[in-house]
Amino acid sequence: MQAVEVFDVAPRYNLSEEQEKKEIVRQYRALLKILKPKLKTGDKELLRRAFEMAVEAHRTMRRKSGEPYIFHPLAVSRICVEEIGLGVRSTICALLHDSVEDTDVTIEDVQREFGSEIARIIDGLTKIRNVVDTNASQQAENFKKILLTLTDDPRVILIKLADRLHNMRTLDSMKREKQLKASSETVYVYAPLAHRMGLYAIKTEMEDLSMKHLEPDIYRQIVRKLAETRRERTRYINEFIRPIREKMEKGSFSFEIHGRPKSIHSIWNKMKKKGVEFGEVYDLFAIRIVVDGPQEREKEDCWKAYSLVTDMYTPSPERLRDWLSNPKSNGYEALHTTVMGPQGRWVEVQIRSRRMDEIAEKGLAAHWKYKEGAGQDGDRFDHWFGQIREALGHQELSSIDFLQDFKTSFLAEEIYVFTPKGDVRMLPIGSSALDFAFAIHSAVGSCCIGAKVNHKLVPIGHKLSSGDQVEIITSGKQRPHEDWLVLVTTARAKSRIKDALREEKRKVAEDGRQLLERKLLSMGAACSLANFELLAEHYRLSSSLELFYRIAVKAIDIKDLKGFAVNGDKLELPRPVRTDPAEVKTDPELLRGQSMRKDAELVIFGERTDKILYQLANCCKPIPGDDVFGFVSTGKGLMIHRTNCPNAARLMANFAHRVVKTKWAKNKEISFLTGLRLTGIDDVGVIHKITHLISGELRININAITVEAKDGIFEGNIRIYVHDKEELDKLVEWLKQLTGIYSVERYDADATPQDHI
């Protein structure tokens, strides 16, 4: 029940060679033991051969912790079996998953020993790491390769998730920059993917382990507070459960009931979202009821259990989640409700059957087990894979754009909406009426001019909610527009709109091509691909098509081509005009915070003591003492971000090659602008007390202060100049001790939502 609270630093590795051999054998036997129910004739021999091949292949290799590398494939294999529910063939693949990549073992060796099925899965795992487009982000391109293999054999992605989970569990032995990169990738892509595959426990642990490295101070603080309140929470859970258990036993239910704490990551999210302290998070734990019974009666049993719970405790009407009637696309089925328990505390209650519980814990692997006879619901994963194949078919999309579209289309939470005839369509949260139109058919989407939602006329960009009934209105004269792209969420809608725009662009571009060809012929130059590409490069355009289009819409004046020379029939670029360095003006933004002065440098990179020019990112406004990283941004140079910046996970996951190791140097001469948001009881003199503390006692310079009072409560925003985080933390602590102050939170003064990449 308290598993999420014990992610301590890994112990130092100190086994002797003899102890190592015994430990390897012990771990292999433990793996065989948990696989025993799944073993068929000949399986044990296959597993032994795979184990021996992996041991031999990795015999000279060590992990960063110092332990033999073979410990990793053994641990990944165990996760595959115990936590994901995979079988013998997947275990063999997990044992060998790094062998082809990192050792002399070849795919041909694997195929000869274990057959084509296992060789194909291992080849898929290897391609995830090997096939990289050098012009794109390596992480995004890797992920695209993962999805290509996912649609071929989903076991590839399940083994990859097990591999990532074990790497996260052993991340303490890695360097800080590696921890940040791996944690960002995990929370940005792998945790949502595990969630989408139905692996909720793995998703939760990945999020917690990522937070441990991305926001270590807050992580440790929540872990400590969970430990301090463990006894009290256990007592409360037992008190809450007791009457439910008694009533269900009287009702002759076969069931299990237990409590579990919320994950550290979800507690922190709730604290941020609600703007509350740890003690004010109202549902720190959830109660799970698992009912046993025949499959044909499981929904009825779940609703009966719900009735018993709500007879005893008053439910919050808006917190009922019915995934029995409309399961999630990943097969998740359950009833969730939040009820008012003893002592006026809200408690989340989850109710599901044994089959539903297994699918919730084991996701896709359990889905396969129950697929036969599951009917339409059993095809939900297959439908999802089909949608991914369709998205992958649009190769024009860059890896970064594809990854972003995939996250919003396939990894987001879902809503269900109805067609006019009552058919259900699942869409990602945030979908518009236009998304729904494209989900019906591409032709319907392309001709959409509006919609009726619950019989009320709405524009095409109207955001849908669960339970809406949608009727699309079309016109034969309608055509997709570029501004439609901001109205849609799903990858299908975006790709269809881009296809239509591209086709329209080709028609317009043809006119531009003819204009350009006439101009080139008049200059004596050839209408060749080489000349087109030279011009596209000169104007910094991505393709010849873009060049033709710009000429057609008069964005490029072909009269400018007179500056080009013609050598034979080839164009030559005009000579660059020299600029006197004295005429180059310095961008005043670069001088913000005096960061261009030699004595004002505050960050050191790598292990050297070089002082580098930089800018502080507007999206998170770091100050000395914050945990930060450097990011090489096109057009702006080196930007310094906080590791908990809203954009940090995206930047580190997509552009890790542009992330620079960064730390602060001490310099008390420079002040940095930041902000504090205060709430409290509106009383005579409260503003004087606050300003006296800041300016009078602590001698901190105030840049601006705004205060609004209503119904006896005040809210104030104060912008101040501090030297470092230590000074800011001291100020926050002192402010909280003032009478009448309810909360003090840091905010990023003048922060902008996203920095230029």
Confidence of residue 290 (pLDDT cuts 50, 70, 90): very high
Confidence of residue 305 (pLDDT cuts 50, 70, 90): very high
**pLDDT, position 593:** 34
Confidence of residue 206 (pLDDT cuts 50, 70, 90): very high
Higher pLDDT, 371 or 714: 714
**pLDDT, position 444:** 92
Higher pLDDT, 386 or 40: 40
Q: Enter the tokens of residue 681.
A: 């009881």
Do residues 353 and 298 make contact, with C-beta atoms less than 8 angstroms apart?
A: yes
Higher pLDDT, 102 or 54: 54
Q: Is the pLDDT of residue 660 over 50?
A: yes
**pLDDT, position 212:** 92
Higher pLDDT, 682 or 79: 79
- 722/197 Cα distance (integer angstroms): 46
- 354/301 Cα distance (integer angstroms): 11
**pLDDT, position 669:** 57
- Yes or no: is domain 380-498 CATH 3.40.50.1820? no
**pLDDT, position 352:** 92
Do residues 527 and 521 make contact, with C-beta atoms less than 8 angstroms apart?
A: yes
**pLDDT, position 432:** 92
Q: Is the pLDDT of residue 226 over 80?
A: yes
**pLDDT, position 205:** 92
Fold of the domain built from segment(s) 224-370: Beta Polymerase; domain 2 (3.30.460)
- 459/448 Cα distance (integer angstroms): 10
Q: What is the pLDDT of residues 720-730, one digit of tens each?
A: 888 888 888 88
Higher pLDDT, 459 or 128: 459
**pLDDT, position 438:** 92
Helix axes 116-130, 155-169, angle to 10 degrees: 60
Confidence of residue 313 (pLDDT cuts 50, 70, 90): very high
Q: Is the pLDDT of residue 314 over 60?
A: yes
Q: Enter the tokens of residue 480.
A: 């997709």
Q: Which residues are catalytic?
A: 101-102
Q: What is the dihedral of CA 221, 224, 230, 231, to 10 degrees?
A: -130
- 354/255 Cα distance (integer angstroms): 9
Per-domain residue ranges of the chain: 3-213, 224-370, 380-498, 499-572, 672-747
- What is the pLDDT of the chain when averaged over all its residues? 78
Q: What is the pLDDT of residues 442-458, one digit of tens each?
A: 899 999 988 999 888 88
Which helix H or strand E contains 530, and what residues bound it? helix 529-538
**N-to-C CA span, the chain:** 42
Q: Residue 678 corresponds to which amino acid?
A: L
Q: Is the pLDDT of residue 434 over 90?
A: yes
**pLDDT, position 598:** 34
Helices vs. strands in the chain: H and E counts, helices first: 28, 23
- pLDDT above 70 as % of the chain: 79
Q: Is the pLDDT of residue 585 over 50?
A: no
Q: What is the pLDDT of residues 95-108, one digit of tens each?
A: 988 888 777 888 88
CATH class given for the domain over 672-747: alpha beta
**pLDDT, position 407:** 54
Q: Is the pLDDT of residue 169 over 80?
A: yes
Beta strands per DSSP E along 711-753: 713-722, 741-747
Mean pLDDT over 608-627 rounds to 72
- 729/745 Cα distance (integer angstroms): 10
**pLDDT, position 584:** 33
User: Which CATH code of 3.20.20.70, 1.10.3210.10, 3.40.50.1700, 3.40.50.10490 fits the domain covering 3-213?
Assistant: 1.10.3210.10
**pLDDT, position 378:** 44
Of 70-74, 163-167, 405-409, 691-695, minimum mean pLDDT range: 405-409
The HSE-up count of residue 648 (CA atoms within 13 Å, CB side) is 28
Q: Quick one: DSSP state of residue 706?
A: E
Q: Are strands 570-572 and 615-616 parallel, antiparallel or unpaired?
A: unpaired
Q: What is the pLDDT of residues 107-118, one digit of tens each?
A: 888 888 888 888
Mean pLDDT over 275-301 rounds to 80
- pLDDT above 90 as % of the chain: 11
**pLDDT, position 591:** 31
Name the phi and psi angles at 91, rounded to 5: -65, -45
Q: Is the pLDDT of residue 76 over 90?
A: yes
Q: Enter the tokens of residue 716.
A: 């104030």
Higher pLDDT, 230 or 314: 314
Confidence of residue 597 (pLDDT cuts 50, 70, 90): very low
Rounded to the nearest 5 percent, the helix, strand and coil shares of the chain are 50, 15, 30
Q: How many CB atoms lie within 10 A of CB 607?
A: 6
**pLDDT, position 445:** 92
Structure-token match 């799903």, residue found: 490
Name the phi and psi angles at 598, rounded to 5: -60, -40
Quick check: helix, strand or coil at residue 747?
strand
Q: Is the pLDDT of residue 1 over 90?
A: no
Structure-token match 């542009």, residue found: 658
Q: Is the pLDDT of residue 126 over 80?
A: no
Higher pLDDT, 68 or 9: 68
